[in-house]
Each structure stands twice: as C-alpha cells, then as structure tokens.
Amino acid sequence: MRSFGVSLITRWRDSGPIHTLQTTALLHEAYVRLVYQSRPSFKNRSHFLAVAAKAMRQILVDHARTARRQRRGAGVSKVDLDEAALISPEQSGVILNLNDALERLASLDSRAAQGVELRYFGGLNQDEIAEVLKVSTVTVRRDWVFSKAWLYRELGGVA
C-alpha cells in the first residue's frame, strides 16, 4: 500500500492539476488522509484510484474554501494563513467553480463527471479511467470531449 501510495503521489504531481500549485504539502496531506486516517479497505487497484481521486478533490476544495475565507477577512491564526497560502486566491476560485460545475454535471451525467474527477484530480489516463468506470476507452474519450465542452460553457471559458 505504501509503495503504491508513493507512486500515486508521483502521478498526482506529474499529471494532476496541482503541479501548478507546487503542492508537495498537499500531496503529503492527501497521502496521509488516504492511507493512514481513512483506512478504507480497497477492493482492487481501480477502487483505490477512484477513492484517491475523490480524496485529492476534497483536499483541494477544502484548501480553496479556506483561502476564500482568508480573503473575506475572517480572523484566523498564522498557521491557517500558511496553509491557505498553498493555494492562491485566483486558484481557489478556479477550484471551487470547477467543483460546483462538476457537481451540476454529476446530477445530469454521473459517469461523465466521474471521468473528469478521475482525470483532473486523480491524474488517471484514459485506460485507467476505463478500468475504473468499466467502460471502453472510446467511451471515456467521448465522455471527456463532451464534459470539456460542458465545463467550458459552465465556467465561461476560464479555468
């Protein structure tokens, strides 16, 4: 589990959206949450990847919400400010808007939304997404093309 988790960290860093956030700290937090705190039992590798993607999404959203609260001037300790600095105010907006748009997509097309979550937050490639969702890679690609257009409209072309 540990070695798989470490390779997952590499995957996130290399493929996910967070490398522009320079978030070694976030990666480690995700790893700790996933492996040590939640202690889920994973049925198989696909299950693990799916849970990991969801965990990373939640961590980013949590940090983005913290960053937004900072901006609104809530009284916070220095420690909270340091944590919030991992995500800039601009990127907190991007993450939260994307998260909201994904939730709306999920209410209409859960498979497509999950594909976006796996790809964007988990850094999974097409074949891995197909394995998790138990569909063909053609379906994964088509879902992604459509989801991207949908998100582009929802997010006003900014992300």
Partner 1 sequence: MTPAQLQTIKEIFHRALDCEPDKVSAFLQTACRGDQVLRCEVDAFLTAHREAGNFIEAPTIGHYKISESIGTGGMGEVYLATDIVAGRNAALKLLPLRFTGDAARLKRFEQEAHAVVALNHPNIVTVYEIGEDHPIHYIASELIEGETLRQHLTREQMELIEAVDVAIQVASALAAAQPQHPGRPKLAAAVRSIDNSLPPTNAYHAAIPRPPLRARLQHRGIRANAPELLRHRQDRCQSIQQQILYLAELRPLFRHSA
Residue 119, both tokens = 């790809």
Footprint on residues 111-130 left by partner 1 (CB under 8 A) = 112, 120
CB of 43 to partner 1, least distance (A): 27
Is there binding between residue 17 and partner 1 (CB under 8 A)? Answer: yes
Binders of partner 1 among residues 44 to 103 (CB under 8 A) are: 82, 85-88, 90, 98
Q: For residue 50, what are the CA distances in angstroms to 88, 115, 129, 146?
A: 27, 10, 9, 21
Contact 134, 118 (CB under 8 A): no
Nearer residue to partner 1 within complex by CB, 75 or 156: 156
Q: How many CB atoms lie within 10 A of CB 80?
A: 15
The C-alpha angle with vertex 60 and arms to 34 and 100, in degrees rounded to 5, equals 120
Question: Of 1 and 158, which CB lies nearer to partner 1 in the complex structure?
Answer: 158
Query: How many residues interact with partner 1 (rule CB under 8 A)?
Result: 31
Residues that bind partner 1 (CB under 8 A): 13-15, 17, 19-22, 82, 85-88, 90, 98, 107-109, 112, 120, 142, 145-146, 148-153, 157, 159
